[in-house]
Amino acid sequence: MASKEPTPNDSHPDARAASRREFLKGRAALSALADKAKQMADAATASFEVASGQEPQRSRPQEVTLLEVSRRAMACDFQVQYHAADGQRATGPILDSLDLLEAIEARLTIYRDTSDVLEMNASAATAPVEVEPRLFQLLQLCAWLQAETSGAFDITSGPLSRVWGFLKREGRVPAELEISEALKSTGGDAIRLNEQDSTIEFLNPRLEINLNSIGKGYAIDRLAEQLAGQGVDDFLWHGGRSSVLARGKNRSDSHEAWTVGIRDPVHPERRLAEIHLRNQALGTAGSGTQFFEHQGRRYGHVIDPRTGWPAEGVFTATAIAETAAEADALATAFYVLGPGGTAEYCAAHPEVAALLVCPPLSESTEELPLEVHAFNLADDAWTRCPLP
């Protein structure tokens, strides 16, 4: 069984205050570091891979120094990589964006009684609740994605995760009756969004929403938007290494792409593939760390909202889209849909790409190559890494 769920960094006021003091103390030091790094940029080399610590295999035409700044939020590390040559011009806006990250988390978290999400869950079944404009747009995106994925993505599936024990990392196989009852508390089609006054209303009194499957991507989109608005053009954001957004040029790459490694789910020390992002976002979903075993069967934490049972048949699902929010949500949906459903979605949405890693079709006891399915990925957009 996976380890105990990390405690969110906003769970204790004193911890938040201490973290804030340390963050502000680090501003001056980081600014000085950025100036120093800018002076060294022409003579230093740095590399960074979102999903692997190994050296990239692609050629690097010039020596480029990359700086990284990170902050803990949403129970994971958010990190931005940018060029040291941009120096102080980029560092100030990046530090400002981390303040925005804290504000976004305060709206989306289910661990604070004052969050917007908990206010909706508490009141939207009895009366319409007015929603902050940007959050309302996110809810509209969620409704659209649920419809487009035929329910494979659903922000109301929290009761299913709860009945399976995944919310507390105490996995258990529930009785069929428990699953049936939990399903009665789900269904995004019971959410009414009124665009005229930006309100949300629950038509099912048992409904609740949880934005965990799209929240990190949404936050990264907002952070990137703020940086672009302040003139920072070239950077890569990631949240927990599963939500990624690349903007502008990676000057250390011959094709100016930002390369993200996809780990082999069976041998995580290996890289299975590389995806080369150019003004794109990437999301990855899988049950490699959140699962439990019962009577010889493995149950992962990604639940199919349509059946109430954990999705099966896929090790990892990666989605590439224009925004990180969409990529986040689609990665979860593709994990649920499997290769067949993902192929249908990508055929209908050529602007979206996907990479699914599945178990071998054969049940042989010998170790066989994994099944890798690529959809809408151009040849220069990804690389299949050779086996050792």
- Which of 124-133, 157-166, 364-373 is modeled with the greatest confidence? 124-133
Per-residue model confidence as pLDDT tens digits over 53-69: 344 444 444 557 889 99
Q: What pLDDT, on a 0 to 100 scale, did the predictor assign at position 58?
A: 47
**Domains of the chain with bracketed CATH:** 13-108+213-384 (3.10.520.10), 116-209 (1.10.3980.10)
Better-scored residue on pLDDT, 29 or 186: 186
Q: Give me the mean pLDDT over the 206-229 stretch.
A: 96
**Tokens for 200?**
């949300």
Per-residue model confidence as pLDDT tens digits over 74-83: 989 999 999 9
Per-residue model confidence as pLDDT tens digits over 136-149: 999 999 999 999 99
pLDDT band, residue 213 (cuts 50/70/90): very high
User: What phi and psi, each to the nearest 5 degrees, are found at residue 204?
Assistant: -110, 120
- C-beta of residue 381 within 8 angstroms of C-beta of residue 276: yes
Rounded CA separation 383/367 (Å): 22
**Tokens for 58?**
């692609």
Rounded CA separation 237/221 (Å): 9
Give the lowest-confidence range in 8-12, 56-60, 131-135: 8-12
- C-beta of residue 186 within 8 angstroms of C-beta of residue 305: yes
Q: Give me the mean pLDDT over the 247-261 stretch.
A: 90
pLDDT of residue 91 exceeding 90, the answer is no
Question: What is the chain's mean pLDDT, rounded?
Answer: 85
pLDDT band, residue 366 (cuts 50/70/90): low
The secondary structure of 158-184, three-state, reads HHHHHHCCCCCCCCCCCCHHHHHHHHC
pLDDT of residue 29 exceeding 50, the answer is no
pLDDT of residue 299 exceeding 90, the answer is no
Q: What pLDDT, on a 0 to 100 scale, did the predictor assign at position 63?
A: 58
Rounded CA separation 274/18 (Å): 38
- C-beta of residue 191 within 8 angstroms of C-beta of residue 143: yes
Give the lowest-confidence range in 41-50, 154-163, 248-257: 41-50
**Tokens for 224?**
């990137």
**Tokens for 326?**
């969409």
- C-beta of residue 159 within 8 angstroms of C-beta of residue 186: yes
- C-beta of residue 108 within 8 angstroms of C-beta of residue 101: no
Better-scored residue on pLDDT, 165 or 15: 165
